[in-house]
Structure 1
Amino acid sequence: MSNRVCIKKGLLTLMGVKFVGIMEHPTRFSMCVRSKTTSAQYVASRFRDPTFEKLMDNYKNLLKVISIQDLILANPRNPSVSIDFLSKLSQKLHLNRGPIAFLRKFPHIFHIYYDHSKLKPFCKLTDAALGVTRQEAVAINASLPVVVERLVRILSMSASRMVPLRAVFKVWKELGLPDDFEDSVISANSGVFQLCDGHEQNTHLLKLVDSVSSNGIRAAVEDWRVVECCKEDCSVDRMEMQFSFKQGYPPGMRLSKNFKAKVKEWQRLPYVGPYEVPGEKKKSKAGMMAMEKRAVSIVHEFLSLTVEKMVEVEKISQFRKWFGIDLNIRDLFLDHPGIFYLSTKGKRHTVFLREAYERGCLVEPNPVYDARRRLLDLVVLGRRGLPAVNSKLQDSSSCNEDRQEENQQRHDLSPS
């Protein structure tokens, strides 16, 4: 079989060997060794899940909306931002057609108006968008005890019981941390967390206080195993379930018997859990397999701790060394498509915990997720839902704003 064929549809690493699944026939999946594929080819050849791809299509715009929203809310006295300022940041914000065109697409979130005193157009949030930000802030403040537990769990997965503070800054929103988490979470819980200087200049490490015990912490996958074993219709052998992870594949992804056998064999492999102290790393085949399975358990647990059960690969990679993961994390997600799903939408690689989602929504939502989902709903709504008269007025206003942007020397522009 040619190498060109082997890189068409890449999937799984099993038993310490890289394999690639290729769809030779719509109903048959075969396996071959992935020996000469580049990382980019491996990503491009993955099986696409239309549900997650559709969700990420909306998230692309949501991330841009959040970036502009943060700029607006950065000025609490007058929460607004000038269109001129957004124009200067267009490239950084990925507003390819400029801020005016982007803001017009989401009238349920942004309101453009003309400030006569400053002789320039500005943008502010609508009442609906402000309501969502307040709902999220209330939910975050109410979940502070849960946030403390999340940080304890993340630090407990590190053999040194510490991680760089800059890595936590990368994922503060994903973990549901408040804006001032250094004060409201870390400093306010000095009996749990400690900040110390790192080896590099201006680098701080977040550490668990020695008196804090990690004993008794159970991983999310272990809770799932208990629930599965207690089901009356459970047909899985209890010993087989001991080291298993929940697997799920998108419709249309049909696997061969050989593929299923490899997955079943991998499921039975023993490993050290994310909160257990790992032993000495062995370079044997069994040692490499155990190391890979522990890496899967760590990133599975990390995703379980996030608010939306998703995170950018670049962000989670900041923890790789501290968690003792010696594997390429992105390839790890691709190697286990039944557990994770990797999307490349929006020029970023985002990984989802597959079992946490059903039809594009969280199976077990939380208050912070509910608030963010409301904002996503406003993004998806776009220009729909506006009265016809208001739409015409807004179109007329938009034309005036275009003229203002193109001819800033003319001050006779009527307000929006």
Structure 2
Amino acid sequence: MATQLLKSITKKTHFPSITITRPKTTSSQYVASRARDPTFEKLMDSYKNLLKVISIQDLILANPKNAVVSLPFLSKLSQKLHLNRGAASFLRKYPHIFLISHDPKTAQILCRLTPSALQIARQESEAINDDLPIVVDRLVRLLTMSVSKTLPLRALFKVWREMGLPDDFEDSVIAKNSRLFRVFDNAQEPGTHLVKLVGCNNGVFKSSCFSSAVEKWRVEECCKEGVDGEEIKFSFRHGYPPGMRLSKVFKAKVREWQRLPCVGPYDKMSMSELKKISDNGCVMALEKRAVGIVHEFLSLTVEKTVEVEKISHFRKWFGIEFNIRDLFLDHPGIFYLSTKGKRHTVFLREAYERGYLVCLNPVYDARRKLLDLVRFGRRGLVNGGSKLRDEEGTELLVENNDSN
């Protein structure tokens, strides 16, 4: 399939300009000019605080035998954790997640998780461990999309949570599946390691057996009555932010782009083949291949979302020569980019409906419960939650700042 597409693509020496016309502005202006989607922006309002909660939760759970951290310790990390008003103020906002107590032995104020938050953390961990076969498949697919079937270990550490990997995945997933994965030193960067997929060489599996999320959608669409299979053959599902103006020229360009042949994310492609496509001036074919890869990357994540900075670590390994962020901005019908929380976060549009995942999974269910606690804030507390209380109900005075 990939070979036939490659031949058909390289036969043409020129492709018409059928992508979205990018305005002649700076990169920051291009980001600022994007069409906003209120649903995703509202989700990110809570999500940006959830990320801070998770950072503190990880610190608390780092020592299973004594799952506590001191308030002075968190205060020292306030800037790194982006707690603008300080650790005490942030903890005060989420008493359904954090418990504050005074340790008479050390005379320190300690922070631990509430029973509800602790139960959610355990539920997530159990869901990941129960889905280890899916986790292995997910990692195999990531490596299969790499041109060299190799990825930096540090890049995987960047997205271990997004991919639903156990926090000890290097031992529990990679080392325990030596028939599939091999870790070795990176000769180009001393002190770093690479993970290589070896299962395709010893017959454990064939990459051709994988179907991408968009390919499955195309099959489902083609089975519907009245749908033209030729129109769907290379298409991606589109949906735009409310109120976004879609001109006739824009719609025509999208229709042409949808018909453009493309190589799938799991189709075997060498760097020489990619260079051949580029040398023939088929930039749009490479661009659509890149869209397919990042679409599949997002489809593999637990919550169908990831920070742009994190996915950028995979760009050259996937053979993508385009700016990842601009790729998302160029296709607002497929992706949504949010800049809330001083970070660029991309969502797969088709995976969400009214701020919730369409296809749920156990890990997402647990994380959504934690997000609900974040949204719950201080509701249901004595005196409107003006003070923190420890397990015995003793009031703990903290500064009265609400914004973080």
Aligned to 1:314: 309
Contact 2:378 2:384 survives alignment (8 Å)? no
The equivalent position to 2:211 in structure 1, one of 213, 218, 221, is 218
Pairing 1:75–2:67 present? no
Contact 2:379 2:385 survives alignment (8 Å)? no
Aligned-partner Cα distance in 2 for 1:344–1:398: 40
Contact 1:16 1:288 survives alignment (8 Å)? no
CA RMSD of aligned residues (A): 2.0
Structure 2 CA distance for partners of 1:151 and 1:355, relative to 1, 3 Å: same
1:125-274 equivalences under 5 Å are 125-199=113-187, 200-209=189-198, 210-211=201-202, 212=204, 213-232=206-225, 235-274=226-265
1:359-374 equivalences under 5 Å are 359-374=354-369
Aligned to 1:3: none
Structure 2 CA distance for partners of 1:237 and 1:284, relative to 1, 3 Å: farther
Aligned-partner Cα distance in 2 for 1:366–1:15: 41
Contact 2:159 2:310 survives alignment (8 Å)? yes
Pairing 1:49–2:37 present? yes
Aligned-partner Cα distance in 1 for 2:16–2:112: 54
Q: How far has the Cα of 1:286 moved from its partner? A: 5.5
Contact 1:82 1:120 survives alignment (8 Å)? yes
The equivalent position to 2:81 in structure 1, one of 80, 93, 111, is 93
Aligned to 1:300: 295
Aligned-partner Cα distance in 1 for 2:247–2:387: 58
Aligned-partner Cα distance in 1 for 2:17–2:44: 31
Structure 2 CA distance for partners of 1:344 and 1:390, relative to 1, 3 Å: closer
Which digits, 9 at most, give the CA deviation of each residue in 1:268-316, with x for residues without a partner?
0001111112334334676101000000000000000000000001110
The equivalent position to 1:111 in structure 2, one of 91, 99, 113, is 99
Aligned-partner Cα distance in 2 for 1:78–1:376: 25
Q: How far has the Cα of 1:254 moved from its partner? A: 2.7
Aligned-partner Cα distance in 2 for 1:324–1:100: 45
Where does the alignment leave 5 or more consecutive residues of structure 2 unmatched?
Answer: 1-14, 400-404
Q: How many residues align?
A: 374
Runs of 4+ in 1 over 2 A off after TM superposition: 14-20, 277-286, 388-403
Query: Structure 1 length as normaliser, TM-score?
Result: 0.86
Aligned-partner Cα distance in 1 for 2:42–2:394: 29
Aligned to 1:30: none
Aligned-partner Cα distance in 2 for 1:382–1:136: 21
Aligned-partner Cα distance in 2 for 1:181–1:226: 33
Percent pairwise identity: 67
Structure 2 CA distance for partners of 1:390 and 1:351, relative to 1, 3 Å: closer
Pairing 1:351–2:346 present? yes
Which digits, 9 at most, give the CA deviation of each residue in 1:306-328, with x for residues without a partner?
00000001110101001000000
1:327-342 equivalences under 5 Å are 327-342=322-337
Pairing 1:401–2:377 present? no
**SS at the partner of 2:126?**
helix
Where does the alignment leave 5 or more consecutive residues of structure 1 unmatched?
Answer: 1-13, 21-32, 404-416
Q: How far has the Cα of 1:385 moved from its partner? A: 2.6
Q: How far has the Cα of 1:203 moved from its partner? A: 1.3
Q: How far has the Cα of 1:76 moved from its partner? A: 1.4
Aligned-partner Cα distance in 2 for 1:56–1:286: 39
Which digits, 9 at most, give the CA deviation of each residue in 1:208-230, with x for residues without a partner?
11224212111110000111111
Contact 2:20 2:331 survives alignment (8 Å)? no
Aligned-partner Cα distance in 2 for 1:265–1:332: 17
Aligned-partner Cα distance in 1 for 2:252–2:182: 47
**SS at the partner of 1:187?**
helix
1:272-283 equivalences under 5 Å are 272-278=263-269, 279-281=273-275, 282-283=277-278
Contact 1:311 1:351 survives alignment (8 Å)? yes
The equivalent position to 1:58 in structure 2, one of 24, 43, 46, is 46
Structure 2 CA distance for partners of 1:261 and 1:236, relative to 1, 3 Å: farther
Contact 2:20 2:253 survives alignment (8 Å)? no
**SS at the partner of 1:77?**
helix
Q: Which moved more, 1:329-338 or 1:200-209?
A: 200-209
Q: Which moved more, 1:247-256 or 1:300-309?
A: 247-256
Structure 2 CA distance for partners of 1:252 and 1:196, relative to 1, 3 Å: same
Q: How far has the Cα of 1:258 moved from its partner? A: 1.4
Q: How far has the Cα of 1:401 moved from its partner? A: 3.0
Structure 2 CA distance for partners of 1:122 and 1:220, relative to 1, 3 Å: same
Q: How far has the Cα of 1:206 moved from its partner? A: 0.5
Aligned to 1:29: none
Which digits, 9 at most, give the CA deviation of each residue in 1:371-413, with x for residues without a partner?
0000000000001133x4684774798974339xxxxxxxxxx
Structure 2 CA distance for partners of 1:400 and 1:126, relative to 1, 3 Å: closer
Aligned to 2:402: none
Question: 1:219 corresponds to which letter in structure 2?
Answer: S
Contact 2:60 2:67 survives alignment (8 Å)? yes
Aligned-partner Cα distance in 1 for 2:376–2:389: 17
Structure 2 CA distance for partners of 1:307 and 1:194, relative to 1, 3 Å: same
Aligned-partner Cα distance in 1 for 2:305–2:355: 12
**SS at the partner of 2:125?**
helix
Q: How far has the Cα of 1:164 moved from its partner? A: 0.6
